[in-house]
A and B are shown apart, each in its own frame.
Chain A
Amino acid sequence: MSDAIWAGTVGFTGHEQAELEAYLARPLGDRPRGGVVVIHHMPGYDEGTKEIVRRFAAGGYAAVCPNLYSREGAGVSPDDQAAAARAKGGVPDEQLVGDVAGAAAYLNSLDHANGKIGVIGYCSGGRQSFLAACSLQIDAAVDCYGAFVAADPPADFPLKARSLLSRAADLSCPLLGLFGEQDSYPAPSEVGVIETELDKLGKEHEFHIFPDAGHGFFSTDRAAYRPVAAVEGWKKIFAFYGRHLAA
Protein backbone atom coordinates (compact mmCIF):
# COMPACT_ATOMS: atom_id res chain seq x y z
CA MET A 1 0.00 0.00 0.00
CA SER A 2 1.33 3.43 -0.94
CA ASP A 3 1.57 5.95 1.84
CA ALA A 4 1.99 8.93 -0.48
CA ILE A 5 -0.39 11.83 0.08
CA TRP A 6 -1.36 15.12 -1.54
CA ALA A 7 -2.02 18.14 0.66
CA GLY A 8 -2.87 21.74 -0.04
CA THR A 9 -5.40 24.56 -0.01
CA VAL A 10 -8.69 24.05 -1.83
CA GLY A 11 -12.01 25.84 -2.12
CA PHE A 12 -15.47 24.49 -1.33
CA THR A 13 -19.00 25.79 -0.95
CA GLY A 14 -20.17 26.27 2.63
CA HIS A 15 -23.24 27.61 4.41
CA GLU A 16 -25.49 29.81 2.25
CA GLN A 17 -23.33 29.11 -0.82
CA ALA A 18 -20.31 30.94 0.62
CA GLU A 19 -17.06 30.09 -1.15
CA LEU A 20 -14.65 29.08 1.60
CA GLU A 21 -11.02 28.11 1.97
CA ALA A 22 -10.06 24.67 3.28
CA TYR A 23 -7.00 22.50 3.73
CA LEU A 24 -7.26 19.07 2.10
CA ALA A 25 -5.01 16.05 2.45
CA ARG A 26 -5.73 12.76 0.71
CA PRO A 27 -3.91 9.55 -0.14
CA LEU A 28 -2.59 9.28 -3.69
CA GLY A 29 -3.61 5.63 -3.93
CA ASP A 30 -6.85 4.48 -5.53
CA ARG A 31 -8.38 2.44 -2.70
CA PRO A 32 -11.88 3.48 -1.63
CA ARG A 33 -11.73 5.57 1.52
CA GLY A 34 -13.81 7.45 4.00
CA GLY A 35 -13.66 11.20 4.51
CA VAL A 36 -12.95 13.16 7.69
CA VAL A 37 -13.99 16.76 8.35
CA VAL A 38 -11.55 18.28 10.82
CA ILE A 39 -12.98 21.19 12.80
CA HIS A 40 -10.23 23.50 14.02
CA HIS A 41 -10.00 24.88 17.54
CA MET A 42 -10.99 28.42 18.45
CA PRO A 43 -7.59 30.04 17.68
CA GLY A 44 -8.26 29.12 14.09
CA TYR A 45 -7.02 27.49 10.96
CA ASP A 46 -3.43 26.98 12.02
CA GLU A 47 -0.38 24.84 11.30
CA GLY A 48 -1.17 22.40 14.11
CA THR A 49 -4.60 21.66 12.64
CA LYS A 50 -3.12 21.20 9.16
CA GLU A 51 -0.75 18.60 10.64
CA ILE A 52 -3.78 16.75 11.98
CA VAL A 53 -5.34 16.78 8.49
CA ARG A 54 -2.17 15.31 6.97
CA ARG A 55 -2.08 12.64 9.67
CA PHE A 56 -5.54 11.43 8.66
CA ALA A 57 -4.43 11.27 5.02
CA ALA A 58 -1.35 9.27 5.99
CA GLY A 59 -3.75 6.95 7.81
CA GLY A 60 -5.76 6.34 4.64
CA TYR A 61 -8.54 8.97 4.79
CA ALA A 62 -9.33 12.02 2.71
CA ALA A 63 -9.45 14.80 5.29
CA VAL A 64 -10.42 18.43 4.99
CA CYS A 65 -10.33 21.28 7.48
CA PRO A 66 -12.62 24.14 6.49
CA ASN A 67 -11.36 27.56 7.49
CA LEU A 68 -14.40 28.53 9.55
CA TYR A 69 -13.14 32.12 9.60
CA SER A 70 -12.79 32.43 5.81
CA ARG A 71 -15.56 35.02 5.76
CA GLU A 72 -13.27 37.51 7.53
CA GLY A 73 -11.55 38.12 4.22
CA ALA A 74 -9.44 36.48 1.54
CA GLY A 75 -5.76 37.22 1.90
CA VAL A 76 -6.13 37.98 5.61
CA SER A 77 -3.81 35.85 7.74
CA PRO A 78 -5.54 33.11 9.80
CA ASP A 79 -4.63 34.71 13.14
CA ASP A 80 -6.17 38.05 12.09
CA GLN A 81 -9.24 36.20 10.77
CA ALA A 82 -9.54 34.43 14.13
CA ALA A 83 -9.32 37.71 16.06
CA ALA A 84 -12.00 39.26 13.85
CA ALA A 85 -14.30 36.24 14.19
CA ARG A 86 -13.75 36.17 17.95
CA ALA A 87 -14.72 39.83 18.24
CA LYS A 88 -18.08 38.86 16.73
CA GLY A 89 -18.66 36.14 19.35
CA GLY A 90 -17.47 33.18 17.30
CA VAL A 91 -19.11 31.12 14.58
CA PRO A 92 -22.93 30.82 14.79
CA ASP A 93 -24.09 27.19 15.16
CA GLU A 94 -26.23 27.31 12.00
CA GLN A 95 -23.28 28.51 9.93
CA LEU A 96 -21.02 25.79 11.35
CA VAL A 97 -23.51 23.08 10.40
CA GLY A 98 -23.78 24.46 6.88
CA ASP A 99 -20.01 24.63 6.51
CA VAL A 100 -19.53 21.04 7.74
CA ALA A 101 -22.27 19.87 5.38
CA GLY A 102 -20.45 21.57 2.50
CA ALA A 103 -17.12 20.08 3.53
CA ALA A 104 -18.67 16.60 3.73
CA ALA A 105 -20.23 16.99 0.28
CA TYR A 106 -16.87 18.14 -1.05
CA LEU A 107 -15.14 15.03 0.36
CA ASN A 108 -17.80 12.78 -1.12
CA SER A 109 -17.25 14.40 -4.54
CA LEU A 110 -13.59 13.35 -4.60
CA ASP A 111 -12.39 10.28 -6.49
CA HIS A 112 -12.36 7.06 -4.44
CA ALA A 113 -14.73 8.42 -1.75
CA ASN A 114 -16.70 5.57 -0.18
CA GLY A 115 -19.49 7.86 0.99
CA LYS A 116 -18.68 7.53 4.71
CA ILE A 117 -18.00 10.73 6.63
CA GLY A 118 -16.42 11.25 10.03
CA VAL A 119 -16.14 14.54 11.89
CA ILE A 120 -13.62 15.47 14.57
CA GLY A 121 -13.11 18.69 16.45
CA TYR A 122 -10.86 20.06 19.15
CA CYS A 123 -11.72 22.54 21.94
CA SER A 124 -14.64 24.63 20.59
CA GLY A 125 -14.48 22.29 17.58
CA GLY A 126 -15.27 19.38 19.92
CA ARG A 127 -18.62 20.94 20.73
CA GLN A 128 -19.08 21.72 17.04
CA SER A 129 -18.35 18.09 16.11
CA PHE A 130 -21.14 17.02 18.48
CA LEU A 131 -23.40 19.69 16.98
CA ALA A 132 -22.68 18.54 13.41
CA ALA A 133 -23.41 14.92 14.35
CA CYS A 134 -26.76 15.97 15.85
CA SER A 135 -27.65 18.06 12.79
CA LEU A 136 -26.36 16.08 9.79
CA GLN A 137 -26.19 12.45 8.69
CA ILE A 138 -22.64 11.55 9.82
CA ASP A 139 -21.08 8.09 10.19
CA ALA A 140 -18.71 8.65 13.13
CA ALA A 141 -18.04 11.71 15.30
CA VAL A 142 -15.15 12.52 17.65
CA ASP A 143 -15.33 15.20 20.34
CA CYS A 144 -11.92 16.15 21.72
CA TYR A 145 -12.45 18.13 24.95
CA GLY A 146 -15.31 20.25 23.69
CA ALA A 147 -16.80 22.46 26.41
CA PHE A 148 -20.42 23.61 26.70
CA VAL A 149 -21.95 20.41 25.31
CA ALA A 150 -23.76 19.68 28.58
CA ALA A 151 -23.53 23.06 30.28
CA ASP A 152 -24.21 26.63 29.13
CA PRO A 153 -21.28 29.07 29.27
CA PRO A 154 -21.26 31.32 32.38
CA ALA A 155 -23.89 34.07 32.10
CA ASP A 156 -21.35 36.87 31.65
CA PHE A 157 -19.65 35.19 28.66
CA PRO A 158 -20.33 36.84 25.31
CA LEU A 159 -19.99 33.43 23.63
CA LYS A 160 -23.14 32.60 21.67
CA ALA A 161 -22.77 28.82 22.21
CA ARG A 162 -25.34 27.03 24.33
CA SER A 163 -25.61 23.50 25.72
CA LEU A 164 -26.39 20.85 23.13
CA LEU A 165 -27.72 18.22 25.51
CA SER A 166 -31.29 18.69 24.29
CA ARG A 167 -30.05 17.83 20.80
CA ALA A 168 -28.51 14.50 21.84
CA ALA A 169 -31.60 12.55 20.76
CA ASP A 170 -30.74 13.57 17.19
CA LEU A 171 -27.18 12.19 17.32
CA SER A 172 -26.87 10.42 13.97
CA CYS A 173 -23.80 8.25 14.59
CA PRO A 174 -21.47 6.68 17.16
CA LEU A 175 -19.55 9.23 19.23
CA LEU A 176 -15.99 8.95 20.54
CA GLY A 177 -15.19 11.41 23.33
CA LEU A 178 -11.61 12.11 24.45
CA PHE A 179 -11.14 14.25 27.54
CA GLY A 180 -8.55 15.23 30.14
CA GLU A 181 -9.08 14.52 33.81
CA GLN A 182 -7.54 17.89 34.74
CA ASP A 183 -9.70 19.89 32.33
CA SER A 184 -12.22 22.31 33.85
CA TYR A 185 -14.04 23.02 30.55
CA PRO A 186 -15.30 20.35 30.17
CA ALA A 187 -14.75 19.03 33.68
CA PRO A 188 -15.09 15.26 34.16
CA SER A 189 -18.45 15.94 35.84
CA GLU A 190 -19.75 17.57 32.62
CA VAL A 191 -18.45 14.60 30.61
CA GLY A 192 -20.39 12.36 33.00
CA VAL A 193 -23.60 14.29 32.32
CA ILE A 194 -23.18 13.77 28.56
CA GLU A 195 -22.48 10.09 29.06
CA THR A 196 -25.55 9.63 31.27
CA GLU A 197 -27.75 11.32 28.67
CA LEU A 198 -26.37 9.19 25.82
CA ASP A 199 -26.86 6.04 27.94
CA LYS A 200 -30.45 7.06 28.60
CA LEU A 201 -31.07 7.64 24.89
CA GLY A 202 -29.33 4.42 23.86
CA LYS A 203 -26.84 6.31 21.69
CA GLU A 204 -23.62 4.44 20.90
CA HIS A 205 -20.63 6.18 22.44
CA GLU A 206 -17.16 5.55 23.81
CA PHE A 207 -15.70 8.07 26.26
CA HIS A 208 -12.18 8.17 27.66
CA ILE A 209 -10.93 10.56 30.35
CA PHE A 210 -7.14 10.51 30.41
CA PRO A 211 -5.30 10.99 33.73
CA ASP A 212 -2.50 13.58 33.92
CA ALA A 213 -4.03 15.46 30.98
CA GLY A 214 -5.97 18.69 30.72
CA HIS A 215 -7.47 20.76 27.94
CA GLY A 216 -5.56 20.65 24.65
CA PHE A 217 -3.51 17.52 25.32
CA PHE A 218 -3.28 16.75 21.58
CA SER A 219 -1.57 20.11 20.84
CA THR A 220 2.04 19.21 20.10
CA ASP A 221 3.10 22.87 20.00
CA ARG A 222 1.75 23.81 23.42
CA ALA A 223 2.71 23.17 27.01
CA ALA A 224 -0.62 21.33 27.41
CA TYR A 225 0.66 18.49 25.21
CA ARG A 226 0.57 15.13 27.01
CA PRO A 227 2.26 12.45 24.93
CA VAL A 228 0.75 9.47 26.76
CA ALA A 229 -2.82 10.73 26.35
CA ALA A 230 -2.20 11.96 22.79
CA VAL A 231 -0.62 8.74 21.55
CA GLU A 232 -3.36 6.63 23.13
CA GLY A 233 -5.99 9.07 21.87
CA TRP A 234 -4.77 8.82 18.26
CA LYS A 235 -4.93 5.02 18.50
CA LYS A 236 -8.51 5.20 19.67
CA ILE A 237 -9.44 7.64 16.89
CA PHE A 238 -8.01 5.43 14.14
CA ALA A 239 -9.61 2.31 15.64
CA PHE A 240 -12.97 4.09 15.86
CA TYR A 241 -12.86 5.42 12.31
CA GLY A 242 -11.58 2.02 11.13
CA ARG A 243 -14.78 0.47 12.47
CA HIS A 244 -17.20 3.08 11.20
CA LEU A 245 -15.77 4.63 8.03
CA ALA A 246 -14.77 1.46 6.17
CA ALA A 247 -16.49 0.81 2.85
Chain B
Amino acid sequence: MCTYLTENFELDGAGKGATGWFTVSQGAVYVDHPYHATHEHTVNIDFTNPSEGPSARVAVELTEESALALVEAIHKTLAAAPPGLASTKR
Protein backbone atom coordinates (compact mmCIF):
# COMPACT_ATOMS: atom_id res chain seq x y z
CA MET B 1 0.00 0.00 0.00
CA CYS B 2 1.20 3.54 -0.73
CA THR B 3 0.72 5.09 2.72
CA TYR B 4 2.09 8.60 2.09
CA LEU B 5 2.18 8.93 5.91
CA THR B 6 5.23 11.01 6.73
CA GLU B 7 6.87 12.54 9.79
CA ASN B 8 8.75 15.66 8.73
CA PHE B 9 11.16 17.49 11.02
CA GLU B 10 13.89 20.12 10.88
CA LEU B 11 17.52 19.04 11.12
CA ASP B 12 20.84 20.75 11.66
CA GLY B 13 23.80 18.79 10.38
CA ALA B 14 25.49 17.48 7.28
CA GLY B 15 25.12 14.45 5.05
CA LYS B 16 27.00 12.90 2.18
CA GLY B 17 24.92 12.35 -0.92
CA ALA B 18 25.54 11.32 -4.51
CA THR B 19 27.41 14.55 -5.27
CA GLY B 20 29.27 14.94 -1.97
CA TRP B 21 28.65 16.62 1.37
CA PHE B 22 25.83 19.08 1.89
CA THR B 23 24.11 20.82 4.79
CA VAL B 24 21.08 18.83 5.97
CA SER B 25 18.07 20.93 6.94
CA GLN B 26 15.10 18.56 6.73
CA GLY B 27 14.30 14.99 7.71
CA ALA B 28 11.44 12.71 6.75
CA VAL B 29 10.51 9.30 8.12
CA TYR B 30 7.85 7.21 6.42
CA VAL B 31 6.69 3.60 6.14
CA ASP B 32 6.03 2.96 2.48
CA HIS B 33 7.26 1.13 -0.59
CA PRO B 34 11.05 1.33 -0.95
CA TYR B 35 12.89 2.18 -4.16
CA HIS B 36 15.77 -0.26 -3.78
CA ALA B 37 15.15 -2.62 -0.83
CA THR B 38 13.55 -5.93 -1.76
CA HIS B 39 10.81 -5.75 0.90
CA GLU B 40 7.34 -4.57 -0.02
CA HIS B 41 7.39 -1.92 2.72
CA THR B 42 10.25 -0.41 4.69
CA VAL B 43 10.93 2.42 7.12
CA ASN B 44 12.39 5.07 4.85
CA ILE B 45 14.46 7.93 6.20
CA ASP B 46 15.46 10.88 4.04
CA PHE B 47 17.96 13.54 5.07
CA THR B 48 17.52 16.45 2.68
CA ASN B 49 18.13 20.10 1.90
CA PRO B 50 15.20 21.23 -0.27
CA SER B 51 16.94 24.53 -1.08
CA GLU B 52 19.60 22.56 -2.96
CA GLY B 53 17.08 20.52 -4.97
CA PRO B 54 15.85 16.91 -4.92
CA SER B 55 19.35 15.45 -5.38
CA ALA B 56 20.47 16.80 -2.01
CA ARG B 57 19.24 13.68 -0.27
CA VAL B 58 20.71 10.86 1.79
CA ALA B 59 18.26 7.98 1.88
CA VAL B 60 17.99 4.72 3.79
CA GLU B 61 15.32 2.02 3.53
CA LEU B 62 15.23 -0.17 6.66
CA THR B 63 13.17 -3.03 7.99
CA GLU B 64 11.08 -2.22 11.06
CA GLU B 65 13.53 -4.14 13.29
CA SER B 66 16.50 -2.29 11.81
CA ALA B 67 14.85 1.09 12.26
CA LEU B 68 14.08 0.34 15.92
CA ALA B 69 17.65 -0.88 16.45
CA LEU B 70 18.88 2.41 15.00
CA VAL B 71 16.67 4.40 17.39
CA GLU B 72 17.92 2.35 20.35
CA ALA B 73 21.53 2.78 19.28
CA ILE B 74 21.11 6.55 19.05
CA HIS B 75 19.57 6.69 22.53
CA LYS B 76 22.31 4.46 24.00
CA THR B 77 25.11 6.46 22.39
CA LEU B 78 23.72 9.79 23.54
CA ALA B 79 23.19 8.43 27.06
CA ALA B 80 26.80 7.25 27.18
CA ALA B 81 28.26 10.55 25.97
CA PRO B 82 28.69 13.60 28.21
CA PRO B 83 25.34 15.44 28.32
CA GLY B 84 24.97 18.07 25.59
CA LEU B 85 28.25 17.18 23.87
CA ALA B 86 26.64 17.17 20.40
CA SER B 87 23.99 19.78 21.21
CA THR B 88 23.46 22.81 19.01
CA LYS B 89 23.48 24.90 22.21
CA ARG B 90 27.01 23.95 23.13
B21 within 8 A of partner (CB): no
In the complex, the number of residue pairs spanning A and B with C-beta atoms less than 8 Å apart equals 77
A89 engages B4 (CB within 8 Å): yes
A42 touches B40 (CB 8 A): no
List residues 108-166 of chain A with CB under 8 A from any CB of chain B.
123-124, 147, 153, 156-159
Contacts of A223 in B (CB 8 A): 38-40
Query: Given contacts A157-B3, A159-B4, is CB(A73)–CB(B53) below 8 Å?
Result: yes
| Cα–Cα, bound, A77→B36 (Å) | 13
Which chain A residues lie closer than 8 Å to B6 at the CB level?
A: 86-87, 158
List the A side residues contacting B30 at CB < 8 Å: 86
Among the 9-residue stretches A51-59, A192-200, A214-222, the one with 4 or more Cβ atoms under 8 Å from chain B is A214-222
Please classify how large the interface on chain B is, using the bins under 10, 10 to 19, 20 to 34, 35 or more.
Answer: 20 to 34
A72 at the interface (CB under 8 A from B): yes
Contact call B54/A214, Cβ cutoff below 8 A: no
Known contacts being A158-B4, A221-B38, is A42 close to B32, with CB within 8 Å? Answer: yes
The 8 Å CB contact of B5, one of A42, A76, A83, A156, is: A156
A215–B32 CA distance with the chains assembled, in angstroms: 13
| B46 to chain A: closest residue by CB | A83
A82 on interface, CB distance cutoff 8 Å: yes
User: Which B residues, 15 to 46, have Cβ-Cβ distances below 8 Å to chain A?
Assistant: 18, 28, 30, 32-36, 38-40, 46
When A and B form their complex, which 6 residue pairs have the shortest distance between CB atoms, in order from nearest?
Answer: A185-B1, A84-B54, A159-B4, A79-B35, A42-B2, A80-B54
Chain A interface (Cβ within 8 Å of chain B)?
41-44, 46, 72-73, 75-84, 86-87, 89-90, 123-124, 147, 153, 156-159, 184-185, 214-216, 221-224
